[in-house]
Structure 1
Amino acid sequence: MNLRVNHYDANPSVYETMMVLEAHIKKSGLDPSLYELIKLRASQINGCSFCINMHGEHLLKKGEHFERILLLTVWREVSVFSDKEKAVLQLTECVTNISECGVPDHVYQNVRAHFDEKQYVDLIMAINTINSWNRIGIATGMSPGCLL
């Protein structure tokens, strides 16, 4: 895919607004590696090649095992993710595909077994933020290696 428009050059305030969201999540106390897993899983679901590439690389640089990155799409079927991570990945899928079935009560309860109410809302904001980045990336034609 060819880059259609450089969103930063065309409208820098959009990028700055997204960075405010990123700063909020960073201040929330959400584990940075867990946030990268959220980013990668949502990007896989949305088909954002730019973000898949970027967040896979971020996880590798943070020392994440290649096996966990490779198996993220089948997280339900493998034992390399903790129950806490699996709860977050399921929430990520539900929020990313919100029109399909919302967030069922069992998903909410599973997440709440590991996170308090504030952290639950922080997770939702983290998922919303990467979904927004994905939509910007896909709509503007971003792909791995494109120059911004």
Structure 2
Amino acid sequence: MTHTAPRLDRADYESLAPQTVAALGALGRAVADSGLDKQLTELIKIRVSQINGCAFCLQYHLNLARKLGTPMAKVDLVATWAEANIYSARERAALAWAEALTTMATGSVGDAGFDDLLLHFTMQEAAHLSAAIGHINAWNRIAGGLRFAPPIPAGHLSEQAGT
């Protein structure tokens, strides 16, 4: 059985590494202010967090996607976006780019994926999208490695327990 107890909670991490949290916060604000569609960036953050197995970030960005009014079918099917015909060509290109950058340790990032990205995004948008992907990957390694407890929304715990 795998031990999954938190190693550190987010509040403690923030007090132990305030400059790191501030730097990551600044990067997050830069991405948020870039003009990229917020629903799209949340889908990217959800998919990357799924790939990296970060429960905290996954739940955090699911919560944000819901608050932004992201269509639930898109949230529910993002793990299988390539097979689900509900994503726009722009969303598909962004999700493919997110997967390529997140898994680049296992293979090179090919030109075809970047070329497809540029069919749907300007070079400036591609730069910001790449920063968003790098940002969530950094948080996944921190929150996943330290096993931050996921931020479960109020009312969801009783649903999960089957009561």
| Structure 1 residue aligned with 2:23 | 17
Contact 2:56 2:147 in 1 (8 A): no
TM-score by length of 2: 0.85
- The C-alpha deviation readout for 1:71-109, integer Å capped at 9, x for no partner, is 111101111100100000000000000112222111001
The Cα offsets for residues 23-44 of structure 1, whole Å up to 9 and x where unpaired, read as 1111211111111011100000
In structure 1, what is the Cα distance between the partners aligned to 2:104 and 2:116? 17
2: CA distance, partners of 1:26 / 1:145: 21
Listed as ranges, the gaps of 5+ residues in structure 2 are 153-163
The answer (yes or no) to whether the contact 2:59–2:151 under 8 Å persists in 1 is no
Post-superposition shift, 1:145? 4.0
**Residue segments in structure 1 that go unaligned for 5+ positions in a row:** none
Equivalent AA in structure 1 for residue 124 of structure 2? K
Matched-pair contact (CA < 8 Å) for 2:77–2:84: yes
Q: 45, 49, 53: which is aligned to 2:55?
A: 49
Whole-angstrom distance in 2 between the partners of 1:145 and 1:99: 29
Higher helix share goes to which structure? 1
SS at match of 1:84: helix
Partner residue of 2:73 out of 60, 67, 71: 67
Secondary structure in structure 1 of the residue aligned to 2:70: coil
Which consecutive segments of 4 or more residues in structure 1 shift more than 2 A?
A: none
TM-score, with length taken from structure 1 = 0.93
Match of 1:110 in 2: 116
CA offset at residue 52 of structure 1?
0.9
> Larger Cα Rg: Structure 1 or Structure 2?
2
State how 1:119-134 maps to structure 2 within 5 Å: 119-134=125-140
Q: What whole-Å deviation, never above 9, does each CA across 1:20-68 have from its counterpart, x for those lacking one?
A: 1011111211111111011100000000001111111111111122221
